[in-house]
Amino acid sequence: MINLGKKQEKVNQTYNDGIAKFVKYEFGKDKFNTKLTSKTEKEINKFWFRKLNITSVEKYQALQVDTEVSRRIAIRLFPQIDDYILSDLFIIIKNKSYTISRIWHNHKKNETELSLVEVIKNEH
């Protein structure tokens, strides 16, 4: 039945497909401020996420810059992600490491969409 006279209620998104851990690897330094190979994993934040489908347009755009998007997720709105250097930020989901190739803040849904590229050889 169609409710023509009633205003539609806002539906909240559910993020229950898993937990994404945002980490940054920090390398140790000696007394001369030289970067060492030893590193520590600093956790930035953890978020529950929901899976999104990868569109053909996004695949095409990623291939234009020699990247293959392996996963898309949505988390609750996290505008502070723009404060980090994206090359230093990694996302760990089920013991797999990903880098971020695209960020989009969807303020209408109050969420942040992330396109992720899997790191095959994690040297971190």
- In the chain, where are the structural domains located? 18-118
Q: What is the mean pLDDT of residues 56-79?
A: 90
Residue of 8 and 41 predicted with greater confidence: 41
What's the CATH code, domain 18-118?
A: 2.40.10.270
Residue of 18 and 35 predicted with greater confidence: 18
Q: What is the mean pLDDT of residues 104-121?
A: 90
DSSP state of 62: H
Q: Is the pLDDT of residue 50 over 60?
A: yes
Residue of 9 and 62 predicted with greater confidence: 62
Tell me the one-letter amino acid at 72: R
The b-or-e profile of 88-122 (16+ CB within 10 A means b, else e) is ebbbbbeeebbbbbbeeeeeeeebbbbbbbebeee
Q: Is the pLDDT of residue 1 over 80?
A: no
Of the candidate ranges 4-8, 42-46, 57-61, 73-77, the one whose mean pLDDT is the lowest: 4-8
Residues with Cβ within 8 Å of residue 88, at least 6 apart in sequence = 24, 25
Q: What is the mean pLDDT of residues 81-95?
A: 87
Distance in angstroms (rounded) separating the CA atoms of residues 13 and 18: 14
